[in-house]
Amino acid sequence: MNQYDDCWLRYSCVVEGERLDSYRRWCTHAYVAETAPELNAVRDELRRALPELLGTDPHLWQHPPTTVEGFLAIGTPADMEMIAESVPVDVVHDLDDGGFLIRSVSWDGMDCLVVTAPTDRGLVYGTFHLLRLMQIGEPIEELSVREEPAYEHRVLNQWDTPFHRSVERGYGGESIFDWERLPDLRPRYEAYARLLASVGINGIVLNNVNTTKPSRASANDAFEAFEGWQLLESRRLEDLTGLASMFRRYGIRTYLSVNFASPMLVGGLDTADPENPDVRAWWREKVDEIYDLIPDFGGFLVKADSEGQPGPYDYDRDHVAGANAIAAALEPHGGRVWWRAFVYGSHEDRAVQAYETFEPLDGAFADNVTVQIKNGPVDFQPREPVSTLFGAMSETNLGLELQITGEYTGQGVHATYHLPMWKEVLEFDTYADGEDTPVRSLFEDDGAGIVGVGNVGEDHNWTGHYLAQANLYAFGRVVWSPDRSTEAITEEWIHQTFGTDEDVVDTVSEILQHSWEACIDYETGGLGLMHMMHNGEEYLENHYHPSPKEWPGYHGASEDGIGVDRTESGSGYAAQYPPPIADRYNSVRTCPEKYLLFFHHLPWEYELTDGTTVVQRLYDNCFAGVEEIERLRERWHGLDGAIDDRRYRHVAERFDEQLAHAKRWRTVLTSYFYEYSGVPDEQGRIRDE
């Protein structure tokens, strides 16, 4: 058995006959440029993949082979005369960084396949793309592929907690990085880089946004326990250089989460006030030091003034002052600050806070600051309406923060596929620039981008649940190309991961595509309620088990009804949207059912459009969610013998656990709704449990 699972880079030979002949004809001989470290990665990947795909070892040439029938050439036009002569160079140069062409061409009387790009990173993506086509059995005889990433920044936020061997909100095992052993590199890091690069991710923040851990016992004891802030110490930075070079080979820039109070924690100053000249000088010197070690360093991610992390409010400064001070140090090097908009405040309704804090600051952030906003206004719930900030900060570089990991969606025990959720978010019309300004259109300018909180740890299967690998894959693919359909992305993942057998593909695809709605139903009742999870003993732990009594403010259950009034008569959150959306959500008649109780507090027996009462719909959805998991589990059982035993059994066991847990959710929620409403389920199911 491999040391770790290959995920979607299995390269298992799926074709035979003519298709295999044609793969062999084009790819047995490969001529790869030698100019950049990225091309070493390309060559290594060919060496790994081609023997599996072709059933024969490839020959890698340092010049165009003249004695063979057809070959594969990979390089930029500047690297290779043969490429400059056989593809339209202006078309190549028009591509954005990361873009590539794959063309069947004729050169010197010979048919060849060319992968070319304006940058070396594009060659990595082009190579992975070609290998993907072969993994899924596509024809490659007459290729004319032109691809470009939709966004400049496609970043993975790895919430790895240095020196604690853990990943916050990670359910795939302990730390992927062995922090104490750096600068030594483990083969696993490269395997991780390959997975990320193969789906187009071009940046990684190595560590947890929580770089210190506030003690619950005493607010003054703020810097105990988490040591992520130490990564800015000189000895630690030196340790990171090898890791950063390894990622560079795969076109991935390295970033760090940093603590706003680093000038104090690391630098020994007595303040971190962003207006203080010593503080600014400290950041400058620190950043210069980093770029000496890591010349393509990407920049910093900052969580400030939130959940006990220090920030500019400690000095009566606003977020612009805080972000811009650090950005000024990075600017001469081309580095960027990703400044999170995840803040709390004095409001009873947490949803309104981020907008109130950040909207007034629109236009004031430096060019090399990106304001990183979670998809919804609360916190990665199974479903949330899209954050109001996306429609309100047209003069700011925006970053969309998605959660790849399943913090609130079953934590790697439940099979919950997030792509349908992300699609819903990306397609949402923000009206930021009038009608037809969907979320996905907001990150196209330089400086904007999409980031995902990762789900990888050191488990053999990387993500805890084999099917959760699909979330990592889908994140990269949808961020590369948000127009690509859920079906297409899902299917290509299955083809590469489980093969092309139709029954397997249909089954896995159905499971994935139905899993999210099922989770919403049993964890929330499906009408826009949220955060009924238990918060464990440990600081920032848990969010797995049902516990609706713990956080009544999030769902507003009372004897007279349920839901949170976020209209004008309530917290006013709905009014933060531009008028057409605000009107839609403010009115109970036009508010979509899926968000109804997010925006409205309604009597338990309020009648929905089809005549069903609110409480009955909540019951029905909780039951429907569990039934759906039963059905999907059965579907999975149908794959016994059709896929390898290891993965079959793993997922089957997880499904047993998921079903039991979904039932627990259903029992707790329906009993809770019944307890408050006093309205029995029409079908008498609650008492039967």
Which residues are near ligand GCU by CB under 6 A?
A: 168-169, 209-210, 303, 307, 342, 379, 407, 540, 543
Cβ 209 to ligand GCU shortest distance, Å: 5
Our CA angle for 343, 349, 350, nearest 5°, is 15
Closest to 672 (Cα-Cα) out of 570, 537, 508, 534 = 534
Q: Tell me the CB-side half-sphere exposure of residue 306, using CA atoms within 13 A.
A: 21
Contact yes or no for 632/655 (Cβ under 8 A): yes
Nearer to ligand GCU, 212 or 437 (CB): 212
Nearest to 177 by CA among 109, 278, 257: 257
What span, in angstroms and rounded, lies between the C-alpha atoms of 553 and 350? 9
d(CA 348, CA 533): 18
Residue 210 or 486: the one with the smaller Cβ distance to ligand GCU is: 210
Residue nearest ligand GCU, CB atom distance: 540
Bridging pattern class, strands 253-258 and 299-302: parallel
Complex with ligand GCU: residue 60 or 540, whichever CB lies closer = 540
* 38 catalytically annotated: no
Q: Given the residues 178, 289, 296, 307, select the one marked as catalytic.
A: 307
Which is nearest to 486 in space by CA: 511, 509, 453, 519?
Answer: 509
**What tokens appear for 77 in the block?**
């036009």
Task: Report in angstroms how near the CB of residue 490 gets to ligand GCU at its nearest.
Answer: 27
Active site residue 379: yes
**Closest alpha carbon to 488 in 65, 62, 108, 138:** 138
Over the range 471-486, which residues count as b (16 or more CB within 10 Å of their CB) and which as e?
bbbbbbbbbbbbeeeb
Find the radius of gyration of the CA atoms of the chain.
Answer: 26
CB of 184 to ligand GCU, least distance (A): 29
The encoded tokens of residue 411 equal 């934590």
Q: State the nearest-atom distance from the C-beta of 107 to ligand GCU, in Å.
A: 52
User: DSSP letters of 450-467?
Assistant: EEEE----SSTTSSSSGG
Nearer to ligand GCU, 120 or 401 (CB): 401
Counted residue by residue, the chain has a size of: 689
Burial of 163 per CB tally in 10 Å (0-12, 13-18, 19+): middle
The residue from 45, 401, 407, 628 that is catalytic is 407
Closest approach, Cβ 105 to ligand GCU, in A, equals 48
**Using CA atoms, how far apart are residues 338 and 156, in angstroms rounded to an integer?**
12
Q: Is 537 a catalytic residue?
A: no
> What gap in Å lies between CA 67 and CA 71, rounded to an integer?
10
CB 454 within 8 A of CB 554: no
How far is residue 242's CA from residue 541's CA, in Å, rounded to a whole number? 32
What's the closest the beta carbon of residue 401 comes to ligand GCU, in angstroms?
A: 8
For the bound state, the minimum distance from the C-beta of residue 196 to ligand GCU, rounded and expressed in Å, comes to 21
Residue 303 Cβ, how far from ligand GCU at the closest point, in Å?
5
3-state helix/strand/coil string of 554-605: HHCCECCEECCCCCCCCCCHHHHCCHHHHHHHHCCCCCCHHHHHHHCCECCC
Minimum Å gap between C-beta 129 and ligand GCU is 32
Of 5, 92, 7, whose CA–CA distance to 475 is shortest?
Answer: 7
Catalytic residues: 307, 379, 407
